[in-house]
């Protein structure tokens, strides 16, 4: 028996919805105010808010061109807040005022999008709706739990410990936005690797401290 073709409704929905990179470039190009708030972006994206906010906060930690020392703690807390809501099954993102009103200069936001958009466009060419059950509402709670654990790692002040957790969240977020289960699986795999790597790093650090204390005694 031959496999049935893709659901035409899903295909039509896919083509009628603009890509994330296009949406970001439109928002950046058309924004008139001097500063862009997190609230402005989430309201522009509607149902994409969960995946998008996780993506936005993961980007500064996962792209070397945007890496800033100490930024993982600042961005990890909002990600943790959003991921917890996702794990609890909330339908929309509810951000406290101190997060929703955070803003950046529109010029800086446009520069950020101009750097990120070409990279996203290359990724989007490889992405398509597949293994859809991993991106459905029922799976979002589990993915939210995974993102909570990775955001927790981001908050910890571990040197060089932010890259893998951020990449895990980044791929999970992209998978949710583009409905690509393969991308979600890659994110989960990176997340597992992050926990293994950082757990080993912490174990080595603890053992080193214990040896030093033993020698002092």
- Ranges of each domain in the chain: 8-216
Which whole-number Å values give the CA distances from 15 to 11, 28, 42, 195, in the listed order? 6, 22, 22, 37
Long-range contacts of 118-124 (CB under 8 A, 24+ apart): 119/63, 120/19, 120/20, 120/21, 120/24, 121/19, 121/21, 123/174, 124/19, 124/20, 124/21, 124/178
Of 65-69, 91-95, 142-146, 156-160, the least confident: 65-69
Supply the DSSP string of the chain, one letter for each residue: -PPPPPPHHHHHHHHHSPPHHHHHHHHHHH--SSEEEHHHHHHHHGGGHHHHHHHHHHHHHH-GGG--TTHHHHHHHHHHHHHHHHHTT-SS----HHHHT-EEEHHHHHHHHHHHHHHHHHHHHH--SBSGGGGSHHHHHHHHHHHHHHHHHHHS--TT-SHHHHHHHHHHHHHHHHTBHHHHHHHHHHHHHHHHHHHHHHHHHHHHHHHHHHHH-
Nearest alpha carbon to residue 42 among 24, 69, 59, 22: 24
Pairwise pLDDT comparison (71 vs 110), residue with the higher score? 110
Q: What is the pLDDT of residue 14?
A: 47
The better pLDDT of the pair 176, 211 is held by: 176
What is the mean predicted confidence (pLDDT) over 32-48? Answer: 74
Q: Which residue has the higher pLDDT, 173 or 48?
A: 173
Q: For position 128, what pLDDT does the model report?
A: 86
pLDDT given at position 5: 47
Average pLDDT value over all residues in the chain: 77
Q: What number is the average pLDDT over the span 92-98? A: 81
Whole-number pLDDT of residue 182: 93
- Can you tell me the distance from the alpha carbon of 217 to that of 209, in angstroms, rounded to the nearest whole number? 12
Confidence of residue 168 (pLDDT cuts 50, 70, 90): very high
**Taking the model in full, what pTM does it have?**
0.76
pLDDT at residue 156, rounded to an integer: 75
| pLDDT over threshold 50, residue 87 | yes
**pLDDT mean over 109-113:** 78
**Residue 32: pLDDT band with limits 50, 70, 90:** confident
pLDDT computed for residue 45 by the predictor: 66
């Amino acid at each position: 028996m031959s496999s049935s073709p893709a659901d035409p409704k899903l295909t039509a929905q896919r083509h009628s919805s603009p890509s994330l990179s296009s949406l970001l470039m439109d928002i950046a190009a058309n924004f008139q105010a001097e500063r862009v708030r997190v609230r402005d972006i989430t309201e522009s994206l509607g149902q994409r808010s969960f995946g998008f906010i996780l993506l936005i906060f993961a980007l500064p930690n996962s792209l070397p061109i945007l890496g800033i020392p100490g930024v993982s703690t600042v961005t990890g807390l909002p990600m943790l807040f959003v991921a917890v809501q996702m794990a609890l099954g909330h339908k929309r993102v509810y951000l406290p005022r101190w997060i929703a009103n955070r803003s950046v200069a529109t010029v800086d936001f446009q520069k950020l999008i101009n750097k990120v958009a070409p990279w996203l466009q290359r990724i989007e060419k490889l992405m398509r709706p597949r293994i859809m059950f991993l991106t459905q509402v029922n799976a979002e709670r589990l993915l939210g739990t995974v993102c909570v654990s990775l955001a927790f790692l981001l908050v910890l002040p571990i040197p060089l410990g932010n890259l893998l957790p951020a990449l895990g969240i980044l791929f999970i977020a992209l998978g949710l936005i583009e409905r690509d289960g393969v991308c979600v699986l890659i994110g989960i795999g990176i997340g597992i690797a992050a926990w293994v790597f950082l757990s080993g790093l912490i174990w080595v650090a603890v053992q080193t401290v214990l040896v030093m204390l033993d020698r002092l005694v």
